[in-house]
Amino acid sequence: MQYRARSSNIGKSWNHLAQNVSSFGKKEDLEQPFDGLILPGGESTVQGKLLRELEMYDSLKEKIESGMPVLATCAGLILLAEHLSNDEHVYFGTLPVTVRRNAYGRQLGSFHTDAEVKGIGEVPMTFIRAPYIETADEQVQVLAHVDDRIVAVQYGAQIGLSFHPELDADSRIHEKFLGLIADCIKNNNCRKIKKICKNPLHFFAQGVILNE
């Protein structure tokens, strides 16, 4: 039920912004065009395992390394991180940061707050068994802190968040991500794409088509 709720909320976020999304569940689906990638919350270990078992890992990593815009939240941030301080696994490893998994403890350690995001303003933030970023390389732009801990960064076209923007009504982070996609298309760095996810019970990735 947890994954189903997240899938529904993410879909609502993009419907509100009049963007098209659709679901993928196998490597052949990635041959369809899409404009941007969302790596949402969930269980990063399971997500990483599914990406490899479904033979989607190599294709997605290549797209990310080629500059495709990515919005990664919570477990998605873990998938992007170059290092994990409390886990030997590395997944895509395209974001030069060190992340601590489950940094705020178990489910009971989940919380909600408001904090300033650079270039956006104060936004609501919902943290669910969240990670945080312990260190970030110099070329990484730190976008937000909560209690002196880094919870949002941007590196090129990759945005990594410790929290879940889709669980709140504020759409400005999603709009920022859409702006990255629009810039990518304008500069001819992106190919047309569709959304990537499996199904509501095994949801691990999502893509967006930017309406023209």
- 166 catalytically annotated: yes
Catalytic residue among 28, 62, 74, 145: 74
Show the beta-strand stretches assigned E in 137-193: 141-146, 149-155, 158-161
What integer pLDDT is reported at residue 29 of this predicted model? 78
Position 46 pLDDT exceeds 70: yes
What integer pLDDT is reported at residue 47 of this predicted model? 86
Position 189 pLDDT exceeds 80: no
Q: Tell me the average pLDDT of the chain.
A: 80
Catalytic residue among 164, 184, 190, 197: 164
- 53 catalytically annotated: no
What integer pLDDT is reported at residue 190 of this predicted model? 59
- DSSP calls for 89-137: --SS--EEEEEETTTT-SGGG-EEEEEEETTTEEEEEEESS--EEEEE-
The better pLDDT of the pair 204, 170 is held by: 170
Q: Percent of the chain scored above 70 by pLDDT?
A: 75
φ/ψ of 39, rounded to 5, equals -110, 100
Helix (H, G, I), strand (E, B) or coil at 196: coil
Catalytic residue among 82, 166, 190, 197: 166
Position 202 pLDDT exceeds 80: no
- 145 catalytically annotated: no
pLDDT digits (tens, 9 = 90+) for 114-169: 999 999 999 999 999 999 999 999 999 999 999 999 999 999 999 999 999 989 98
CA distances from 132 to 49, 85, 96, 102, 117 (A): 22, 10, 14, 8, 15
